[in-house]
């Protein structure tokens, strides 16, 4: 995907055709060069979209990842069609006329097509199409991003002993404030500070026991 996007973006700035412009009167023909971006704007747009699609394939899961793959495959097919339409003689002549500086200048025949630019664009579009189809078919078997940074991911409990262990557990994404693994909870404390072994608070002292402590 990255290679296809790079080829598309690079081909958009290359010269695809070269010709001459003529004007009425005793004016010498002027050379003109036509780039891929002059012929079609789809190359740069799909190239940047393919780069964004790489991040989408990493972040998405399930049907969302398949949707990203389908969109990338459609983009690669559209880029191939745009390349085929851009190299037609009529498209080259029209682009040369558009690039004329003077309003009366016209292309002196069909500009000569240079093969390097269209070949790069076609190869890049084919790679994006292939990568999109591959993502559409095989993406369910690909690993996704970890759930470490998900908002709904439950942090792992990891009681720590030393300050060094605390920092290590924080770097690993553990939450040292949770209870220890195995479902054990810290013993509950009563209002007076006593704790029971089964997690329940002890019964409050009766009036009789309080009176007995006051009497000699």
pTM beyond 0.85: the answer is: no
25-42 core/surface letters (b: 16 or more CB in 10 A; e: else)? eeeeeeebebbbbbbbeb
Residue 208, pLDDT > 90, answer no
pLDDT (tens digit per residue) in 38-93: 888 899 999 999 999 998 888 888 888 889 999 999 999 999 999 999 999 888 87
The half-sphere exposure of 67 on its side-chain side, counting CA atoms within 13 A, is 7
Q: Is 20 helix (H, G, I), strand (E, B) or coil?
A: strand
Q: Is 188 helix (H, G, I), strand (E, B) or coil?
A: coil
- Beta pairing class for 174-175 and 156-157: parallel
Give the bridge partners for 17, in sequence order. Answer: 34, 113
pLDDT (tens digit per residue) in 85-131: 999 988 887 777 776 655 556 666 678 888 899 999 999 999 999 99
pLDDT, residue 104, reads 58
Structural tokens at position 89:
């003689």
pLDDT (tens digit per residue) in 148-184: 544 544 555 555 467 677 777 777 767 666 654 544 4
Question: What does the alpha-carbon distance between residue 21 and residue 51 come to, in Å, rounded to a whole number?
Answer: 37
């Amino acid at each position: 995907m990255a290679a296809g996007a790079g080829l598309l973006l690079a081909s958009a700035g290359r010269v695809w055709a070269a010709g001459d412009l003529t004007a009425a009167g005793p004016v010498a023909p002027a050379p003109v060069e036509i780039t891929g971006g002059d012929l079609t704007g789809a190359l740069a747009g799909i190239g940047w979209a393919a780069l964004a699609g790489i991040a989408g394939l990493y972040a998405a899961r399930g049907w969302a990842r398949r949707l990203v793959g389908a969109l990338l495959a459609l983009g690669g097919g559209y880029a191939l069609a745009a390349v085929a339409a851009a190299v037609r003689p009529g498209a080259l002549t029209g682009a040369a006329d558009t690039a004329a500086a003077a309003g009366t200048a016209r292309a002196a025949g069909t500009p000569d097509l240079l093969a390097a630019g269209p070949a790069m664009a076609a190869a890049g579009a084919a790679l994006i199409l292939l990568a999109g189809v591959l993502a559409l078919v095989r993406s369910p078997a690909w690993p996704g991003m970890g759930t470490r940074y998900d908002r709904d991911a439950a942090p792992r409990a990891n009681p720590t002993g030393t300050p060094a262990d605390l920092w290590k557990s924080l770097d690993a994404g553990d939450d040292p404030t949770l209870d220890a693994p195995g479902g054990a909870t810290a013993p509950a404390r009563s209002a007076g500070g006593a704790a029971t072994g089964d997690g329940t608070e002890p019964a409050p002292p009766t009036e009789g026991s309080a009176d007995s402590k006051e009497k000699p």
